[in-house]
Structure formats: structure tokens, C-alpha cells
Structure 1
Amino acid sequence: MSLEFHDLFSLKAMNTLGFDAVAERFVQIQSPGEVEELHAELKRSGDPLLLIGGGSNLVLAAQIPGIVAQLTIRGCEIETMDQDLVRVTLGGGENWHATVSSLLDQGIYGLENLALIPGNVGAAPVQNIGAYGVEVKDRIEAVEVYDWQEERVYWLDNQACEFGYRDSRFKREGGRYLILRVSFLLSRTPATVTTYAPLNTELSPNEQKDPRAVYRTVCRTRRDKLPDPEQIGNAGSFFKNPVVSQADYERLKAAYPGLVAYPDRAGFKLAAGWLIDHCGWKGRQMGNVGVHDRQALVLVNLGGGDRGQLERLAGAIQADVRETYGVELEPEPKFYP
């Protein structure tokens, strides 16, 4: 077997929260052929498997049993479909933000609203990442997977991925699929999305039509509000924005006129950060973890934090929001094991 396994391998640098975590066995996957080798080893050993990319949406325990595999498959193929439409196929191990930036430099548009989101390309469809009015499902054509159950590689088109808000088939059927590559349909003609309030208000009418101006504004806004994982451990937005019915929205709006919410197909999407902030959590600390002082939606590791401390903090926030607003907050990151 060509795979190189490492015993008792530290994952501290491989999760953006910076928690001390040790994998019983660790391996990197650099090609589809190595996926098949890994599957053979899993069947032989019976070990559980955790797949990781950039570790940006993950809350780890101190000890990780079995095998942790990091996908590092690279590659970027660009195919011009017609005068405007471009198909871009990316390896799952490519860095997300670096890819967004590189495509923009090449005059390929459509991902600029999703700039500066941490993690790798292979993780983007799992969570159906989204920001500033765009979800990645809006740009994905198909996803190439290795199916652990069927033991084969194949493509799933956009509809088969069953995308939802911060959700997908890959998330709901965790452990079945390994995402190898993702195919996007993008454009050489700018078609910016600036309906989201922070962009609409900060950009001039001419800038709203310029993908590079949108990109710069998104990056500046994210840097102003969200901490850099290299500087302070975090997993990005920790809670999903809850969706409520129109009746519940009207009830809450009457009681809290400053409530921040946006129309959604299922009703109204409430700004979870606003709910948490107005419960007084912004900047608060519990043990070695806390709520970021500029963005209440982000929970941070202040140094020496661990999963238990984070779970207690998240639970206290959820209870407070539930009692105050009658709204349930659901975490975005995956907890493992």
C-alpha cells in the first residue's frame, strides 16, 4: 500500500478552532486511486473514518478514534462553453478563497460574494456555504464523489445533491461520500449580486456592477467582522440563521422593532447574530472560550479552550435565545466524534 499512515497525529493545526486533538491514525489522500486504497484499509481494520479538508467547520474532541483522512486532491480545469459560460472543475483539496481570487483575476465571475470563506473546495457543497446573497449551490453544476457504499466514483448533478440552507445530501448522509471534484458554471460576463444590505449600501451604483468591487467589499467586511483563524481560533459563523414563519416574524417584529430579518422561501430568516447580541452575549467569555467582541455569531477559542467548554457556551447561548425569543438556534459546525 502506498498510503502513509501516521500514528497519534496532532490535528491542532488542522482545525481552525485550534483545539488540541490527536488522531489515532492520520493519512493524506492525493488521488482517487488512494481513496480506493483507503477503503480497502478501512474494510480490513474496521476503523471509523473522519474526512477533513481545511478543518474550518469542525469541532473536535481531544481524542479521535480510527482514521482521519485529509483530502489534498488538486487541479483546476477551465472549459469555455460559449462566449460567456465557463465550466470550472476543481479538485476538492484546493483552497476555497485562493480559488475565488484566482478565477476573478482570470475574468471568471460568479463566486466573488463567497470570498474569504475559510476551508477547501470539497467542503463547500457539504455545508452549501453562502454569504452576501449567494449560496454555492447557485453556481455548482455537479459534484464528483467516491461512494463508500457502492465503492465507485461518479458524478451527482446539482439536483441530486439535494441542497438546502446550509445543508446538502452530503451533510445528511455523512460518511457515505467523499467529494473528489466540484464542477461550477461561471461566466465571463459580470452579473453581480448586491441585494444583500451590506453590499447594497456600501457600493456605488457603478461599483455594484463590478465583480472586483464586490470582492473587495466582501473581503473588507468579513475582515472587519470576522476574526482570522490564524490569529484567534474560530469556526466561522457558529449558528445558522433560524427561519421562522411569517406569523412568528410579525410577532417578534412587534415586540422587537429593531429585529434584523430577511424574506425567505419558507418565511423569514432571522439574523442569529442580532439575536445573540441583543441577549448580551457579544464579547462574553466562559473559561477559555467566548463570543467574539465584534461579531456575536462567532465563538472563539481564546487559548487553551476545548470542545467541552465550547459546548457549554453554545448551550447557554441557545437557552438564552430560546427563553427570550422562542427561537431555536442550530449550530453550523460538525461535532466529531
Structure 2
Amino acid sequence: MCKKKYFSNQSLKDLNTFAIDVTAKKVIFVKTIVSLINISKICKLSNIPYIILGEGSNILFLENYAGIVIINRIRGIKIIEKKNTWLLHVFSGEKWHNLVKLTLNLGIFGLENLALIPGCIGSAAIQNIGAYGLEFKDICQYVDVLCLKNNITTRINKKFCKFSYRNSIFKNQYNHEHAVIAVGIKLSKKWRPIIFSTLKKYIKQKNITPYSMFNIVCKIRKKKIPDPKKTGNAGSFFKNPIITKEKAQKLLKLYHVPNYPEINGLIKISAGWLIEHYKFKNLQVGDAGIHKKQKLVLINKKNATPQEIIKLAKIIHICILKKFNVFLEPEIDFIGSIGKVKSSDIFKLKNN
């Protein structure tokens, strides 16, 4: 078993990118699967709630956590070279951006569009992270999940992961008493750039390389999204709404909203555009505000409370619904005193 670190009533401010100053009864860093199993067993026997986090990059603590926060630091990367592909087996405690940089340095290409996305590998699978025309599901082969009831690890093939926009089976069926342990990633040796519409103005097709794509994506993200080490945030607070074609046509007759067709005939529209064009004037609740360069990002300017961030989010939600008749659904997870809380229970609003 690894050497564990225990803290009593420690602040979680440095363990969540929103920098919310709440506490947990204990924080335990784990580096092995055995440690994770043992700690979860102790929690269950003692009837103590626990939650497993990586970088704390897509969450908002609503209050002090009444149990144990387990920080996943189970790391390791195995790479197998095949004739036409690279196969990666990556443990869930690895940082996502570190993997992107490592593969690029090794001459293994295909992850560049997902550069600078915060969080760990486990979160990448759970959230089905995505950016600039590429999602985790596009490069995933499988996900290994540990059941903490029987300590059995199951390998789930990509086709059974139920990946969708910022969603997966791991946010639902495998949410409670399960932990993502590792993922399998498959990358083709024949690199083809994915030039999403918002990247076109930065790219000269003839000169594009994996390295230049990586640099372009990093430059854009640094410009648009604040560094959580300097300004607390959880990235995009809201998802881009996916609406029916009929509803999109009505909206597009009135507004020039950036929109993207989905495979199932639905239309994805830009939530950032909606917030920007509502033209909120210096909207701020306490220390909670909207990032000037990317309206989807809510920020903790200094010492924002969870209540201030929720109040700000509710104001945005209601205003967008009234003006555009579009329902903004939070992308982040909310964590209460004993575990996750459904966003619908917080906002008390239904998508009609």
C-alpha cells in the first residue's frame, strides 16, 4: 500500500479549481488501487461518505463536505506500437494535458485539439471531454472501471460507454460506488488535422502540423479561459444547448447564433454567444462574475461563496430562457455535504 496523507478538517480551496474555501473531514491521496479499495472499505464500514476527485476541475462544492475526499493519484502510462496505430493504456490519476504533451513529444499524434483541458484521465472519460471538433469518445477504445462493492475491475468497450455530449455511462449507471481506473486510447499513425470552424482563421492548411495545431489550441485557450491558479473557475459552467431543428430555425430567423448540426438531426448552438448577446452589464454577485473573454466561464474573483456562484448562474439561466427560450444546463457537477447533487434540484427549473 502506498504511503497515505491524512488531513483533519482541511480546506479544499487548493483541491478544486473554482477555489471554493470549503472543508472536508479528511483528505486522502491514493497512489494505488489497493489503497483506494481499503479506504472505501473503511468508509463503508464506518458509514462515512466519500467522494473521489482528480484535479477538482469540473465541480462546485456547495458546502463543507461531511466525509472523506479521496484524491486519485493512480498513475502510469503504457504504450504499444502496432503497424498502423498506437495503443495507450493510461491510469486515471494522470493529468490529461500532461498526456497530450507526452504523446506529442514522442511523435504520437491525435490529441492536439484537446490540449490544455484541465483535469485527470478519469474525468476525461466520465465527462467525455471535447474541444474543437474532437471528443474523448473519438479516440477511446475502452474504460476500466472498479466496482467498490466487490473490488472487481471491468473493462467496458467504447460502444457500451454511452458517450454523448459531456456525458457517459460513468456519470450515471457507474457513478455510485465505482471508480474509473484506466482508459484505453487508440491513435492512428496517419495524422489528419481536425480543423474545426473556430480554428480556421488561425490555420494555414498547407503548413499545419501536430505541433502547430497544439500551439494554436493552447494559445486560444489561454486567451479565452482564465488560469485557475490565478482566477478560480471550472471552465465552461454551462453546456452548449442541443435543440430541435425546428426550434433552431425559429431562433436563427431572429439571431445569428453560431450553430452546429448533430448526427441525430438536432442542432447545437453556442451558449457563450447567447450570454454575450444578452449583454449583461457588469453582472456580478459578491465575488462571483462572468469572465470577459469567454462568457461560458463563471469566475471566483477572490472569495466567492458557492451561494454567490449559484445565484449568478440562476440569473443567467433565467435571463437566457426568457429572451431566447433556450434552456442552459450546467456542465459542472455540484457536490453537497454528502455527495453529488442534481443540477435540477438546485435550479428548480425544467426544460419545457
Q: TM-score, normalised by structure 2?
A: 0.91
- Find the aligned partners of 2:303 and 2:15 in 1 and give their Cα distance: 16
List aligned pairs for 1:176-255, cutoff 5 A: 176-194=177-195, 196-208=196-208, 210-255=209-254
> In the TM superposition, what whole-angstrom CA distance separates every residue of 1:188-237 from its partner, at most 9, and x where no partner exists?
3212211x1121221001234x2111111111111111111111110001
Aligned to 1:168: 168
Cα distance, 1:103 vs. partner? 0.5
AA of the residue aligned to 1:32: I
List aligned pairs for 1:1-337, cutoff 5 A: 3-82=4-83, 84-173=84-173, 174-194=175-195, 196-208=196-208, 210-256=209-255, 258-266=256-264, 267-281=266-280, 284-337=283-336
> In the TM superposition, what whole-angstrom CA distance separates every residue of 1:90-118 from its partner, at most 9, and x where no partner exists?
12111111110110111111111000001
> In the alignment, is the contact (CA less than 8 A) between 1:283 and 1:293 conserved in 2?
no
- Find the aligned partners of 2:88 and 2:205 in 1 and give their Cα distance: 29
Cα distance, 1:240 vs. partner? 0.3
Query: Secondary structure of 1:36's match?
Result: helix
Query: Secondary structure of 1:113's match?
Result: helix
> In the alignment, is the contact (CA less than 8 A) between 1:125 and 1:168 conserved in 2?
yes
> In the TM superposition, what whole-angstrom CA distance separates every residue of 1:274-325 from its partner, at most 9, and x where no partner exists?
0011111375322110000111010000011011101000000000000011
> In the TM superposition, what whole-angstrom CA distance separates every residue of 1:13-68 from its partner, at most 9, and x where no partner exists?
01001110111121111111112212220221111111110011010133101111
Query: Secondary structure of 1:192's match?
Result: coil
Query: Secondary structure of 1:213's match?
Result: helix
- Find the aligned partners of 1:78 and 1:283 in 2 and give their Cα distance: 49
- Find the aligned partners of 1:290 and 1:89 in 2 and give their Cα distance: 39
AA of the residue aligned to 1:20: D
Query: Secondary structure of 1:51's match?
Result: strand
- Find the aligned partners of 2:95 and 2:177 in 1 and give their Cα distance: 23
AA of the residue aligned to 1:40: K
User: Cα RMSD over matched residues?
Assistant: 1.4
- Find the aligned partners of 1:228 and 1:207 in 2 and give their Cα distance: 29
- Find the aligned partners of 1:217 and 1:33 in 2 and give their Cα distance: 40
Query: Secondary structure of 1:294's match?
Result: coil
| Runs of 4 or more consecutive aligned structure 1 residues displaced over 3 Å after TM superposition | 1-5
Query: Secondary structure of 1:206's match?
Result: helix
- Find the aligned partners of 2:100 and 2:44 in 1 and give their Cα distance: 37
AA of the residue aligned to 1:252: L
Give unmatched runs, 5+ long, in structure 2. 337-352
AA of the residue aligned to 1:77: K
- Find the aligned partners of 2:159 and 2:66 in 1 and give their Cα distance: 34
- Find the aligned partners of 2:281 and 2:161 in 1 and give their Cα distance: 36
Q: How many residues align?
A: 333
- Find the aligned partners of 1:127 and 1:283 in 2 and give their Cα distance: 31
> In the TM superposition, what whole-angstrom CA distance separates every residue of 1:101-153 from its partner, at most 9, and x where no partner exists?
11011111111100000111111011100000000111111111111244311
> In the alignment, is the contact (CA less than 8 A) between 1:86 and 1:185 conserved in 2?
yes
> In the TM superposition, what whole-angstrom CA distance separates every residue of 1:58-91 from its partner, at most 9, and x where no partner exists?
1013310111101001111100122x30111112
Cα distance, 1:154 vs. partner? 2.1
- Find the aligned partners of 2:168 and 2:280 in 1 and give their Cα distance: 30
Query: Secondary structure of 2:205's match?
Result: coil
Q: TM-score, normalised by structure 1?
A: 0.95
- Find the aligned partners of 1:206 and 1:102 in 2 and give their Cα distance: 25
> In the alignment, is the contact (CA less than 8 A) between 1:93 and 1:120 conserved in 2?
yes
AA of the residue aligned to 1:42: C
> In the alignment, is the contact (CA less than 8 A) between 2:59 and 2:332 conserved in 1?
yes
